[in-house]
Structure 1
Amino acid sequence: MKVQQAAFSLGLDPKEFCSSVSLKYQTMFNALDISYTDFVRTTESRHIEAVNRFWMILEERGYIYKGTYEGWYCTSDEAFLSEGQTAERCNSEGKKIRVSLESGHQVHWVSEENYMFRLSSLRPDLLQWLQTDPIHPSVFHRVVSHWLEEELPDLSVSRQRSCLTWGIPVPSDSSHVIYVWLDALVNYLTAAGYPDPNLAPWGPATHLLGKDILRFHAIYWPAFLIAAGLPPPQKLLVHSHWTCGGTKMSKSLKNVVDPAECIRRYTKDGLRYFLLRHGAAERDCDFTHNTVCTLLNSELADALGGLLNRCTASNINPMQHFPHYHHESVPTTTHDQLHSLLKNLQKLPAEVDHWIRKFQVNKALESIDANIRRSNSFFQSQAPWKLQKGVEKEACWKDSVLYLTLESLRLYATLLLPAVPELATVALDRLGVPPNKRTLKGNSFFAATRGESCSFQGQIFGPDRGLLFPRLERSKKNTVRI
């Protein structure tokens, strides 16, 4: 209904309207270097086939029946709501309206004969599924647990074609169209090749979703799957929202952040890094231009970029290469500091892996940044620019400091490749790291400190492309100039 209304308001056919919206997403994915295995649309014939088959299975298994639905419906959320999920409020004109407690959007009373899904019978199955701890972060697990404390009403899964022409017709009754959320959720199966029996199923998967569609993914979707004899999702990773200046983004408030403009201002990797580093799944996070500038200047321009510039500068590294590491050159007073640095660096890949597996990318990037700062402190404290070339032990220690710092940078850039691929590639190019040695698997770091052979000793640097990440200038109007 929402799509149909939006399309008609613009004088467009619903499919034409959806195509224009879909193209915007694909364009933005490409602009941000976001890759995907498949891009599924509900208008595709393969998806319509999947939805028809899924519906017929639910019908055959006795989970769909024809009945009368009477209750509240939110067009904006495309959701049916119980009385307890709504409340009376006053709109901007002072007129009393009923709204969804969850979203704040207006609801309308609907009374019509629809096809119903026996959601009420699946509450025990959903409670059992919930015991497998499938919903993360835990705050959203508690929300779903609270919802399941009460009985679940059966769910209307169709709308009469007389009031909604946009949608997939019910296979056995063309006077009805299938409820958008039953239709849309089957997309996950479409991407896996359903219902083709010759394709190996993906099995239970991890779904990434926003908190505003939690009910559809944590109640309806697992219920649909269980009813169809399929396994429910293994994990639901739920993320919160971005606010702007502490306020929910809204077209009416004109505070919606434009990703295309952000790419122009901060670069695509700058935007990617900020969203991944500053965002936290369990709570809403604020987006302001000054916040972006502060974080990117501190972590990408100063900490990472500054360290790369310092140890590859021709005045401190005239040979423009990875020097050799000399065990015997380590000053007695530096042993403890060096041991601490190497201990942290050697456990960093496992630490990053731990946070990624827990879906806490922000903490993974926080760990990397903390170590970059340790490397900066070590480099500054050893002051290799002060060490004398003519004094053999000092010259050897200078080479060792540079080796340690360059190896640290190689590790950081490798770990950062998934988050900021273009920026990390520039750093690895500068370090002269061959393309086949830009992974953790099969490559060791700091081998020379363990007395092992290190192929990077003597490695010549790649081209100098200037600053890794130019500092962003903050303006008084909370905008930036690059």
Structure 2
Amino acid sequence: ASECFVPEAQVAQSPDAQGGAHKVSKESGHQVHWTKEENYMFKLSEFRQPLQKWLHGDKNAISPEPFYHSVLQWLEDDLLDLSVSRNRSRLQWGIPVPDDSTQTIYVWLDALVNYLTVLGYPDAHNAWWPAVHHVVGKDILKFHAIYWPALLMAVGLDPPERIYVHSHWTVHGQKMSKSLGNVVDPLACFRQYTIDGFRYFLLRQGVPERDCDYYDKKVIKIVNSELADALGGLLNRCTAPSINPSGIYPPFSESYFPRSSDQVGAEALGRALREDYELVTSVTLLPLKVTNYFENIQIYKALESITACVRQTNGFFQRHTPWKLCQKNPAEKCWLNTILHVTLECLRVYGTLLQPVIPATADKLLSRLAIAPEERSLRDLTFLPRYHGKPCPFEGRGLGPDTGVLFQKLEKLRCQVETKRSQTSKNSSCE
């Protein structure tokens, strides 16, 4: 573990297990010990105003916003000079200070410099620097938002373009700790919830601005509700042979779903309702909204937006009860095809946008819709072109052959695992 010197103003008394007291860092809560030694110092105090000028000139330099304000608040206090070496007699494993064998470079100093050296500093870093984005935990924000920019300024380099900060995961309201035995094993979670399922939960619930609480029941509830039921159920319903016997991307009818700036007038002309036009608007705007959230590392907001649209689409499908339409009636069949076309178009958008989050599940969804790999880019994503009077390249195309469940419900998955374990135990006992 790395260490740092803590000024006296940042030290407090804390009771220990024996009923006495010891000194701890106010910031981290870790116990501190008094020590005195000679070190090399970096004049951090001279960079308070340059750091303030940098942050006031770029309010997007640190995000989310609460952490930006935290750094500004730190800079309101006097900055003490920073010790950048340690006595080598007690720290032999680090990098020696050049021309001084008695000192070792402070671990955080050489760690931060790696951001530059990996880019080829001092000869070949200009192709990347300073257009770099750091993603850091809130516990090391001071190192990245104060010490590191000041060191860069000292050698005539600009600070990184963006610093994204995230909070931590707790378990039932407690910090993960080996002593408490509450550390969550991600590999075990992958096996229990699938890789896509666990990724989805973490990104869906992970809010960068604050610590998030983890417990197993929450994973099962969210993943089953949003992936297995809402998204997977919608795909199964609109591709089922009973409702889509031809197994194709059916045609869209402008006469049943006319484009009109006057939704009331459009309702009078066709069979689409006001809520249906609201769905079209929501899904049309969704790619840009999700892109902006992704670029600002607000993945949870992107997934909230996608989930809201999935709910709207399920409402659209349920509202028009396509399973009740008579497929032998040409008018009813035309309206049925339009309902299915709109629903499949919505699913195509959701599958495309979900690729970075749940790649395997998104691939399965898009393959079921027969969307080729080269047709899955965000750049070319256009929703419901027929509604806008343009041709749809997917219309009339046969759907993919995989008719299985998009995402298996986690309880069922767990039961199967337990059954296999039980069978293994029985086989072992027989032997």
One fold, TM greater than 0.5?
yes
Please say if residues 388 and 394 of structure 1, whose CA atoms lie closer than 8 Å, have aligned partners that are also in contact.
Answer: yes
Distance 1:221 1:433 in 2: 46
Distance 1:250 1:198 in 2: 39
State the 1:204 CA deviation: 3.7
**Equivalent of 1:228, from 132, 155, 158?**
155
Whether 1:322 and 2:249 are equivalent positions in the alignment is: yes
Please say if residues 204 and 231 of structure 1, whose CA atoms lie closer than 8 Å, have aligned partners that are also in contact.
Answer: no
Whether 1:171 and 2:98 are equivalent positions in the alignment is: yes
State, as a whole percentage, how many aligned pairs show the same letter. 51
* Equivalent residue number for residue 320 of structure 2: 382
| 1:310-369: CA deviation from partner (whole Å, max 9, x where unpaired) | 111111111111001111234745242322111111111111122223321110110001
**TM alignment of 1:183-202, pairs within 5 A:** 183-197=110-124, 200-202=127-129
* Equivalent residue number for residue 110 of structure 1: 35
**TM alignment of 1:407-446, pairs within 5 A:** 407-446=345-384
Partner of 1:226, secondary structure, is helix
Whether 1:307 and 2:234 are equivalent positions in the alignment is: yes
* Equivalent residue number for residue 425 of structure 2: none
Superposition CA RMSD, Å: 2.1
Equivalent position amino acid for 1:144 in 2: V
Distance 2:25 2:170 in 1: 20
Whether 1:361 and 2:286 are equivalent positions in the alignment is: no
Contiguous gaps of at least 5 residues in structure 1? 3-76
Whether 1:214 and 2:141 are equivalent positions in the alignment is: yes
State the 1:386 CA deviation: 0.7
Distance 1:451 1:198 in 2: 49
* Equivalent residue number for residue 139 of structure 1: 66
State the 1:417 CA deviation: 0.5
- What is the TM-score of this pair, normalised by structure 2? 0.90
Please say if residues 329 and 394 of structure 1, whose CA atoms lie closer than 8 Å, have aligned partners that are also in contact.
Answer: no
* Equivalent residue number for residue 81 of structure 2: 154
**Equivalent of 1:120, from 27, 41, 45?**
45
Distance 2:127 2:91 in 1: 36
Moved more, 415-424 or 95-104: 95-104
- What is the TM-score of this pair, normalised by structure 1? 0.81
* Equivalent residue number for residue 341 of structure 1: 279
State the 1:166 CA deviation: 1.2
Please say if residues 256 and 272 of structure 2, whose CA atoms lie closer than 8 Å, have aligned partners that are also in contact.
Answer: no
| 1:364-387: CA deviation from partner (whole Å, max 9, x where unpaired) | 110001001100000111111111
Partner of 1:80, secondary structure, is coil
State the 1:149 CA deviation: 1.1
Partner of 1:445, secondary structure, is coil
| 1:242-271: CA deviation from partner (whole Å, max 9, x where unpaired) | 000011111111111110011011111111
Distance 2:253 2:275 in 1: 16
Moved more, 328-337 or 419-428: 328-337
* Equivalenced residues, count: 405
State the 1:220 CA deviation: 0.5
Distance 1:191 1:457 in 2: 49
| 1:164-187: CA deviation from partner (whole Å, max 9, x where unpaired) | 011111122122111011111112
Distance 1:159 1:245 in 2: 39
State the 1:102 CA deviation: 1.3
Partner of 1:256, secondary structure, is coil
Please say if residues 237 and 359 of structure 1, whose CA atoms lie closer than 8 Å, have aligned partners that are also in contact.
Answer: yes
Structure showing the higher strand proportion among its residues: 1
Distance 2:378 2:128 in 1: 30
Please say if residues 370 and 398 of structure 2, whose CA atoms lie closer than 8 Å, have aligned partners that are also in contact.
Answer: yes
Distance 2:412 2:322 in 1: 33
Equivalent position amino acid for 2:173 in 1: G
**TM alignment of 1:283-294, pairs within 5 A:** 283-294=210-221
* Equivalent residue number for residue 11 of structure 1: none
Distance 1:147 1:244 in 2: 29
Equivalent position amino acid for 1:102 in 2: E
Please say if residues 256 and 271 of structure 2, whose CA atoms lie closer than 8 Å, have aligned partners that are also in contact.
Answer: no
Equivalent position amino acid for 1:417 in 2: Q
Please say if residues 312 and 320 of structure 1, whose CA atoms lie closer than 8 Å, have aligned partners that are also in contact.
Answer: yes
Distance 2:256 2:128 in 1: 58
* Equivalent residue number for residue 386 of structure 2: 448
State the 1:95 CA deviation: 3.2
Distance 2:78 2:392 in 1: 64
Please say if residues 473 and 481 of structure 1, whose CA atoms lie closer than 8 Å, have aligned partners that are also in contact.
Answer: no
Distance 1:257 1:282 in 2: 21
Contiguous gaps of at least 5 residues in structure 2? 258-266, 421-431
Partner of 2:37, secondary structure, is strand
Distance 2:78 2:125 in 1: 39
Partner of 1:329, secondary structure, is coil
Distance 2:204 2:286 in 1: 17
Distance 1:107 1:481, change over 3 A: farther
Distance 2:310 2:395 in 1: 21
**Equivalent of 1:270, from 197, 209, 215?**
197
Equivalent position amino acid for 2:185 in 1: D
Equivalent position amino acid for 2:408 in 1: P
Distance 1:190 1:373, change over 3 A: same
| 1:174-230: CA deviation from partner (whole Å, max 9, x where unpaired) | 221110111111121123221224862332422111111111111101111100110
State the 1:480 CA deviation: 10
Distance 1:151 1:395 in 2: 74
State the 1:293 CA deviation: 0.8
Equivalent position amino acid for 1:98 in 2: K
* Equivalent residue number for residue 181 of structure 1: 108
**TM alignment of 1:230-269, pairs within 5 A:** 230-269=157-196
Distance 2:418 2:71 in 1: 41
Distance 2:418 2:116 in 1: 43
Distance 2:153 2:129 in 1: 16
Please say if residues 85 and 100 of structure 1, whose CA atoms lie closer than 8 Å, have aligned partners that are also in contact.
Answer: yes
| 1:75-103: CA deviation from partner (whole Å, max 9, x where unpaired) | xx522111111111122232321111111
Please say if residues 115 and 157 of structure 1, whose CA atoms lie closer than 8 Å, have aligned partners that are also in contact.
Answer: yes
State the 1:152 CA deviation: 0.9
State the 1:276 CA deviation: 0.8
Partner of 1:319, secondary structure, is coil
Distance 1:342 1:277 in 2: 24
Distance 1:351 1:407 in 2: 18
Distance 2:102 2:403 in 1: 63
Equivalent position amino acid for 1:92 in 2: A
